[in-house]
A and B are shown apart, each in its own frame.
Chain A
């Protein structure tokens, strides 16, 4: 296969991962902020306590995503990589 083929093959994977993690997580974060605002009420809207719960649940998912990113950085520094072969991520040798 030519370089172009390899590049395009890598590119769509990066695009997919980027969309899920790079756009998906910030959107979850934005949803969390929206829930937080809804939970606090303000203006004419009445406070909705569930908003806060939902907000912190969403923030927790985002934090997990960031931790995954940190793990990739640290693991690659030690010559390891993260395997997604099982559903959950696992640290394996490169």
Chain B
């Protein structure tokens, strides 16, 4: 019973992961009207689906980066499975709920935050609650980049900078190269360049992110004794995760697409291509080198960089600042939710505890969805002019916005 809840919640997380991250690949193409909004999310969804099926390798040890609930071969720690896996399942369930709640909350605010950080945050919180501070892998063992610091915090600081520099250099050079070239050549050329590079980002996203959920579900199955093979994952898990992330992507987190595509900088086609190429190259290079990073941070850094690199472009640093603030609190905020959920689930106990926190998740998700209907953002108004709310603008000193 708890296992069913874990699987459903994990698929729910995968879904929010998809719809939170549509913007990373497609915000630029939508903002420059290289693709119509509906076409863009459909393309991204299909590529995520393909990408998810392409990931044959098992990401069973995904949680090892931040918490100590698994052995190094991927099997759950024996101490957590002695009661039929309930202890481990509760930690995973509470962690997933923390991740989903934070994903939905940031979506409501239209802020792109990292889904992986939300998942890791939720797991860290649930683990602290369930096993104590020693259950968290803070710093790794010093032999490689590992732990909360090495896999989450440092990459989050470094990757947007790298992506920003690459995109800024790319944008600046592209504008230099195409000075004086007739618009009929640049418009069409950069349109295709943008679509191509954005597609690459979508595909990479599908292979990377769906794998994490597949790993979590398989871990839960092993803990409950329904699966023993640590080298493979059940096909239905892979199919379900692929479909969940693709559906989420297709539904599209329009609020976040709007922030990334219109809020940070006014994106022109050459910038869009430079930003997405930078994202694709940085994501692929770092996954090739085993340097874990978040697609969201990279995409945001790239788009900012494309604004810095274009001569005369205006960057809304205040919006950027709000995003960075969100990134900083993503891990602790998801951790707090994860921990609270664990305490509550543990307090009620057993299957009933899991049902209670699952019900709370449904209430929270439903509430945030209803709240979002008050000011809906969808494919019809995603490209409207970006107006800062006046009340917010007054609080900021004039010097801060005139850069």
Interface residues of A (CB under 8 A from B): 1-4, 6-8, 10-11, 13-15, 17-23, 25-27, 29-34, 36-37, 40, 42-43, 66, 69-70, 72-74, 76-79, 81-82
Is residue B228 contacting chain A, with contact meaning CB distance below 8 A?
no
A23–B57 CB distance below 8 A: no
B278 cross-chain contacts in A, Cβ below 8 A: 18, 22-23
List 12 interface pairs A-B (beta carbons < 8 Å), by A numbering.
Answer: A3-B150, A7-B150, A11-B291, A14-B289, A18-B165, A19-B165, A21-B281, A26-B273, A33-B186, A69-B200, A69-B281, A77-B207
B52 to chain A, nearest CB (A): 9
A29–B189 CB distance below 8 A: yes
| Contact among A1, A15, A33, A66 with B162 in the assembled complex (CB-CB below 8 Å) | A15
A21–B207 CB distance below 8 A: no
| Contact among B54, B142, B284, B288 with A77 in the assembled complex (CB-CB below 8 Å) | B54
Question: Smallest CB-CB separation from B189: which chain A residue?
Answer: A33
B329 to chain A, nearest CB (A): 21
On chain B, the number of residues with a Cβ less than 8 Å from chain A's Cβ atoms is: 59
B206 to chain A, nearest CB (A): 9
Q: Dominant SS at the B interface? A: helix
B288–A37 CB distance below 8 A: no
B144–A26 CB distance below 8 A: no
B277–A25 CB distance below 8 A: yes
| Contact among A17, A23, A76 with B170 in the assembled complex (CB-CB below 8 Å) | A23
B281–A79 CB distance below 8 A: no
A32 cross-chain contacts in B, Cβ below 8 A: 189
B289–A10 CB distance below 8 A: yes
Distance A8 CA – B181 CA, assembled complex (angstroms):
40
Is residue B348 contacting chain A, with contact meaning CB distance below 8 A?
no
B291–A14 CB distance below 8 A: yes
B289–A69 CB distance below 8 A: no
Could you list 5 further interchain pairs (A-B, Cβ under 8 angstroms) beyond the known A18-B162, A70-B203?
A4-B154, A7-B154, A33-B181, A33-B189, A76-B55
Is residue B349 contacting chain A, with contact meaning CB distance below 8 A?
no
B174–A27 CB distance below 8 A: yes
| Contact among A21, A37, A66 with B285 in the assembled complex (CB-CB below 8 Å) | A21
Distance A20 CA – B277 CA, assembled complex (angstroms):
11
